[in-house]
Each structure stands twice: as C-alpha cells, then as structure tokens.
Structure 1
Amino acid sequence: MDREPRWKHDGVQVIAGDQLDSNTPQTPGMFRQAAINHARTGAERIWAGTVAIDPDAKTGVHHHGALESVIFVVKGKARMRWGEQLEYVAEAGPGDFIYVPPFVPHQEINADPDETLQCVLVRSDNEAVVVNIDDIHPVEEPEAVYWVDPIHRHPHDDH
C-alpha cells in the first residue's frame, strides 16, 4: 500500500527558468521555449513558455485559430499590428499584458532596433495552432490604438 501523500507526485510542479524546453516550433528571429505543456507537465488545456525576439524582428501575418493568447512583456518594446489589413497598432513595454482573441489576424514585432524583446506567452490550448495569412496587404499608416487605463494614460491627455 502506497503511504505517500496523494499530491506529492501529482500536484504542483515548479519548472525552473533554466530548464525550459526549446524543442518547439521556431521562427527566424524568435526563440521559443516551453515551460508548461502536455509533454512536460501533463497540462491538458494550457501552454506557457517564453519567447525572445531579436531586435527589429517580426512575424508574418497570422492568427491562432480558436486559441486565446496572452503575452506578458518582460523586457523590451513590443508592437502588435492587427486587423483585416493590419490597420491597428499598439505598443507594450515591461510589465504590460497583451491579449490576442481567437481568429484575429495579427503580427508581432520587436519595436526596438537594439534590444531583444523578452516575453512570457500563455495559450489556451496545448496545440500550436498558427494559420499564416498571405493575402493581407497592410495599410501604409496603421491607426494607433492606445492602451488607456489607470496606469497608462492616453499620450495626448494633458491631465
């Protein structure tokens, strides 16, 4: 009879930051590592890891199907473009969260020409769904969408 406590081996798991798995889909200019996935932890409905994006690097236009994604910016300056013609743009810095809803065409960009962008990425499923979109022709001047909340004021607000 097993006398060990029930949750000793099936409970909380800590994944050390220097023990991440780089055996993930990679994109030129980006380095992804998995922390939480089915293979490593048995996770069924979530994926979490890190991504480092080289200066000035950007993804192609894509969406993640029915998945929801959250990006937390650790270091650097992220720029997100989205929409049917990537007509919207917003930037995020250290401590900011980015939410990407299902099926939204978008492009992730490191907005800094000199510094690597470092982020934590969480997705609502274990499957890596990426649907590349080749027929979007971005507008020239994207409309700026500012993140305004109690911490981030609109840049044109003089208060």
Structure 2
Amino acid sequence: MAETRTCRLIRTSGTYHGKQGLDYAEAISKESVGSQGICMHLLTIPPGKRAKAHLHEDHETAIYMLKGKSAMWYGEKLELHMELEEGDFLYIPAGTPHLPYNPSQTEPCSALIARTDPNEQESVLLLPELEAEWENKNSPS
C-alpha cells in the first residue's frame, strides 16, 4: 500500500541530542514527516559550548544565523576559521570537516539548519582523531 504524501505542520515540542554533542529542536526530517531529501532543524548553542568535530558524508548543509554570534573551525585539519553574525548565511559542502562553537560566555546563539540528508543523524561522521589534534593545537600553553 502506498503512503499518502501531504503537507505536514510541525510545532516543535521537544529536542534530541545529536551525535555532535548539542541539542536540536525536532523539526523536519524523515523521522518526523517522512521527508525524502531534506532535514531542517533549529540549533541553539549555549554560551561557551561547541560541537564535536564532524562532517556530513555526501550531504550539503545550509545555515542561517537567527540570533547571536557563532564561529566555526573547518577544513581538512580544522585549520580555517570564520565567524557568523545574525542574518548571515553559511554553506558547508558535503564531506567538509567542521567544528562550530559559541564564542560568547554569556549569550546563546541560534541558527536554522538545513541538510540534503532527510535523516536527522545518519550522515553525521564524528572525527575524534581530528578533534584531538585540534585540541592539542588550541589548548592554552
């Protein structure tokens, strides 16, 4: 029997803890609405917190900064850095290692995130070796 496809309204009522180490507001995904090509959710990073180093295999990511400022280390060795402000858009190509964080010690930051992977977490690949290397380079002496 074929599944009936129709528009679906999502009123976020909960969060899930992602492999990246942060909490995401439940929104659009294969799991929530049966989407086939996109996942979209809201991420709020608490003050001074960061994700684990990771990449999304074979899937692109688009981000819109809603509130506050965020920053990200990215590149093959997390050697590149950028900062995002409210109203900024960010594109992350498939397979690009990245480590986002909130540089503020007092204010949270929030972003709307969309990926071409309909699954909430399937394409997330953690990079613990790369994260350890990054921590060694960036720890206070």
What TM-score, normalized by structure 2, do the two folds share? 0.80
Distance 1:72 1:84 in 2: 23
Distance 1:27 1:133 in 2: 10
Provide the residue aligned with 1:109 in structure 2: 101
Q: CA deviation at 1:12?
A: 3.2
Provide the residue aligned with 1:22 in structure 2: 15
* CA RMSD across the alignment: 2.0
Which residue identity lines up with residue 42 of structure 1 in the other structure? G
Matched, 1:99 2:94: no
Distance 1:82 1:26 in 2: 18
Provide the residue aligned with 1:133 in structure 2: 127
Query: How many aligned residue pairs are there?
Result: 129
Map 1:66-77; keep pairs closer than 5 Å. 66-77=58-69
Provide the residue aligned with 1:5 in structure 2: none
CA contact (8 A) 2:20 2:53 kept: no
Quick check: which has more Rg, 1 or 2?
1
Matched, 1:86 2:78: yes
Point out the structure with the larger helix share.
2
Q: Which runs of 5+ in 2 are unaligned?
A: none
Distance 1:24 1:61 in 2: 15
Instruction: Flag the structure with more relative contact order, 1 or 2, with Cα contacts below 8 A and sequence separation at least 6.
Output: 2
Which residue identity lines up with residue 15 of structure 1 in the other structure? I
CA contact (8 A) 1:21 1:35 kept: no
Identity of aligned residues (%): 25
Which residue identity lines up with residue 80 of structure 1 in the other structure? M
Which residue identity lines up with residue 8 of structure 2 in the other structure? Q
Query: For residues 5-62 of structure 1, what are the alpha-carbon distances to aligned partners after superposition, in whole Å with 9 as ceiling and x for unaligned?
Result: xxxx84433323xx3442453654x320221112322211111111111111111211
CA 112–23 in structure 1, closer or farther in 2 if over 3 Å, else same: closer
Provide the residue aligned with 1:13 in structure 2: 8
Q: Which runs of 5+ in 1 are unaligned?
A: 1-8, 141-159
Which residue identity lines up with residue 133 of structure 1 in the other structure? L
What TM-score, normalized by structure 1, do the two folds share? 0.72
CA contact (8 A) 1:24 1:34 kept: no
Point out the structure with the larger strand share.
2
